[in-house]
């Protein structure tokens, strides 16, 4: 089963991709050519923080609750996308910019060049 993930940025941009039920959202993003900031890849550093706007997730493995908290207020505010898997279609606000890469197979690129 797959769910739709939407990333929003602070300037009104968005990107949407599919994520399998047992797949970390950061991995699904990478497969779709959307690169977000990842450092530890194990739920410990907070580099992949995102604010969930709608939907639901669960975690594949334990994560740092400290990295989910707002530094000023101490409230739980962020989800950690390197360990989060969607349980329904979900939308996140990503404050750090993502980068898009071309995931087309080389054969498709060569075909485009020949036309
Ligand atoms: S990359 Fe470190 S918590 Fe996700």
Query: Residue 111 — very low, low, confident or very high, per pLDDT cuts 50/70/90?
Result: confident
- Cβ of 18 below 6 Å from ligand 1: no
Q: Give the C-alpha separation, 3 to 86, whole Å.
A: 7
- pLDDT, residue 106, reads 72
- 59 C-alpha to center of ligand 1: Å? 12
Number of folded domains that form the chain: 1
Report, as an integer, the average pLDDT of 16-34: 96
Q: Could you list the residue range(s) of the whole structural domain that residue 59 is in?
A: 2-114
- CATH number for 43: 3.10.20.30
Report, as an integer, the average pLDDT of 20-35: 96
- 38 C-alpha to center of ligand 1: Å? 6
Ligand 1, residue 45: give the atom nearest the CA. Answer: 2
- pLDDT, residue 113, reads 81
- For the entire predicted model, the pTM comes to 0.88
Mean pLDDT of the residues in the chain: 93
pLDDT tens string 46-91: 999 999 999 999 999 999 999 999 999 999 999 999 999 999 999 9
- Cβ of 33 below 6 Å from ligand 1: no
Q: Which of 68, 77, 90, 103 is nearest to 23 (CA)?
A: 90
């Amino acid at each position: 089963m797959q769910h739709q993930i939407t990333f929003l940025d602070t300037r009104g941009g968005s990107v949407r991709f599919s994520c399998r039920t047992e797949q970390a959202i950061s991995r699904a993003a990478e497969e779709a050519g959307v690169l977000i900031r990842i450092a530890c890849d194990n739920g410990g550093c907070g580099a992949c923080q995102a604010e969930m706007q709608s939907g639901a997730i669960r975690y594949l493995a334990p994560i740092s609750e400290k990295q989910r908290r707002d530094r000023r207020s101490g409230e739980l505010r962020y989800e950690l996308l390197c360990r989060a898997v969607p349980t329904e279609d979900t939308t996140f606000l990503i404050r750090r910019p993502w980068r898009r890469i071309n995931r087309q197979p080389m054969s498709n690129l060569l075909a485009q060049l020949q036309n």
